[in-house]
């Protein structure tokens, strides 16, 4: 495995491999890697000849400077994990390497990017599209891998690729990876205290319970069930819970309104913002 920090070096390495007919998988990350990221890399390794993992905390997708400052950075540990799971390259550029000048590009994929995270984190998805599109142009991968925990992000990236093209790039969505007790793996979990870690379990427990609850209750009742459980849980503050069409991300009002229905939630545990989702119909 090779650690690369410049675009020029990475492209030189990949051009040589591409000339040999090698397929290239890309796993974009912001570092602070865990078993969820490892699952993405393992799948990429299984489906491609060469795998590149980017390890870059992208400043343009943070609308909260404090959140950016507190985001964990663990490059050495990340490299150890990535070598074990078979990555060929770790691309860990500086901010100056990626943004030698401000990126003024504007991406708009309404209504996908105006609801949920788009509503509560203005500018977030524009920053995501800036960095992901840059990585696609730098790496020119055959396939790129993203976790379904960031469900809205995945839908927006699919739409961006659909509209821009990127040489027929295939976007691969991978299932949420959870701890044995159900908590969705997240780099932000490292910021939870032991007590908060226990409190945060209520998020996944409630979502799992709501799937069974939904079998005998209306969509509105199910939404209220989740909102009540989280709002009354110790240490948690609900930002939103929406039940949406899994493709359009638009709110649905009845279980009959679609064949692919997903519940998306964001909860603060102390100062740590956690997201999760659950599929009701697929």
CB-count exposure of residue 181 (10 Å: 0-12, 13-18, 19+) = exposed
DSSP 3-state assignment of 240?
A: strand
Long-range contacts of residues 180-186, Cβ cutoff 8 Å, at least 24 apart = 182/208, 184/36, 184/149, 184/274, 184/275, 184/276, 185/34, 185/35, 185/36, 185/149, 186/34, 186/36, 186/149, 186/274, 186/275
Q: Is 34 a catalytic residue?
A: no
**Catalytic entry in 34, 37, 124, 217:** 37
What residues contact residue 230 under an 8 Å CB cut-off, 6+ apart? 202, 203, 206, 236, 238, 241, 265, 267
Q: Give residue 214's Cα distance to chain centre.
A: 26
Active site members: 37
């Amino acid at each position: 495995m090779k650690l690369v920090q410049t675009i020029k070096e990475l492209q030189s390495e990949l051009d040589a491999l591409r000339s040999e007919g090698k397929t290239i998988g890309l796993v974009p990350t912001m570092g602070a890697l865990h078993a969820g990221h490892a699952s993405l890399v393992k799948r990429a390794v299984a489906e491609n000849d060469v795998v590149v993992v980017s390890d870059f905390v992208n400043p343009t997708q943070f609308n909260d400077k404090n959140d950016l400052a507190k985001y964990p950075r663990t490059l050495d540990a990340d490299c150890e994990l990535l070598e074990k799971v078979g990555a060929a390259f770790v691309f860990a550029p500086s901010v100056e390497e990626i943004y030698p000048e401000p990126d003024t590009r504007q991406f708009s994929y309404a209504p996908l990017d105006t609801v949920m995270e788009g509503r509560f984190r203005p500018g977030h998805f524009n920053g995501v599209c800036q960095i992901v599109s840059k990585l696609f142009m730098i790496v020119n991968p055959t396939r790129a891998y993203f976790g379904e925990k960031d469900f809205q992000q995945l839908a927006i990236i699919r739409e961006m690729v659909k509209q821009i093209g990127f040489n027929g790039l295939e976007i691969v969505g991978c299932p949420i990876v959870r701890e044995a007790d159900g908590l969705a793996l997240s780099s932000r979990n490292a910021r939870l205290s032991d007590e908060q870690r226990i409190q945060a379990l209520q998020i996944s427990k409630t979502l799992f319970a709501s799937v069974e609850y939904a079998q005998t209750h209306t969509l509105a009742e199910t939404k209220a069930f989740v909102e009540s459980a989280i709002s009354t849980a110790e240490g948690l503050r609900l930002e939103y819970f929406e039940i949406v069409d899994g493709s359009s991300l638009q709110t649905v009002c009845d279980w009959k309104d679609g064949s692919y229905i997903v519940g998306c939630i964001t909860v603060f545990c102390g100062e740590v913002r956690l997201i999760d989702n659950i599929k009701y119909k697929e």
